[in-house]
Structure 1
Amino acid sequence: MNVEGCVVPEQLKPTVVLTGTAEEGRAGPPIGMMDIGVSEKAYLCRIALPGLRNNENNFTCDIQRDGRVNIHGVVTGGALKGSSTAYEMKVQQLCPPGQFTISFNLPGPVDPRLASLNFRSDGILEIVIFKPRSTV
């Protein structure tokens, strides 16, 4: 995105000091960014779900035997938990509130009964899905 030539009002310019990897200018991961790892017996998927909270049931994960994974959910926003005050976002760099769907195929078939989901506090959903046992 080209932001050159954009005029940002003074009240929207935050005073922020960045160091380390934050200083490199990369924004946080957009919703749906992922990594997929493969081992002899299983797949490991890490999917970025910023804006979701660990303690709310705001997403579902459906895993098919052919390796198709579908994640459906809702990003909530605009109001803080326990508050009736809604906020209009003036700077929007995170995913806006609303429904989302993330669908992807793993490199091969899986056994959906042998899947483990872990939604980390940093907004990353980790899924370990075992491959079907070979019948020899």
Structure 2
Amino acid sequence: MSLPSYELFIGQSARLQRIFTEVDIKHCKELTKDYNPLYQQNDIALKNEDNRPIVPALLVEGLVSQVITDKLPGIACVLLQKELIYYHPVYIGDEITAELTIIDIDHDREWVTQKVKCINQNGTEVIKGQVVIYVTGKVI
């Protein structure tokens, strides 16, 4: 039985947008058991520049994973490496656009490297970096 083939190319990109809500943060806190006071309405959270609770980094990373799973490559794959730099906090109510672009394909290993860029509704870059994924099939 042969594995399926996928046409991926350098420069190929995909993006998704999401607005993060209090409900999203509540679910994330319950799943991770991370109850950082910056994630909720209180005096500590309201001391930031936007006077809004911060969205957990793990939740924003989930949007990056969603682009990989749903769009690029949008096929069965495994995340091998993730290097992300957080330049600006994400707050409740922010609309974040995650864009991934293929920058390298290792055909022998079936690894795909993608540049990651996340921006908010104001055009501010909040996250950038790269991911390496293993595609379970032949990359052509």
Task: With the length of structure 2 as denominator, give the TM-score of the two structures.
Answer: 0.33
Task: With the length of structure 1 as denominator, give the TM-score of the two structures.
Answer: 0.34
Instruction: Write 1 or 2 for the structure with the bigger share of strand.
Output: 2
Instruction: Write 1 or 2 for the structure with the bigger share of helix.
Output: 2
Larger RCO (alpha carbons 8 Å, 6+ apart): 2
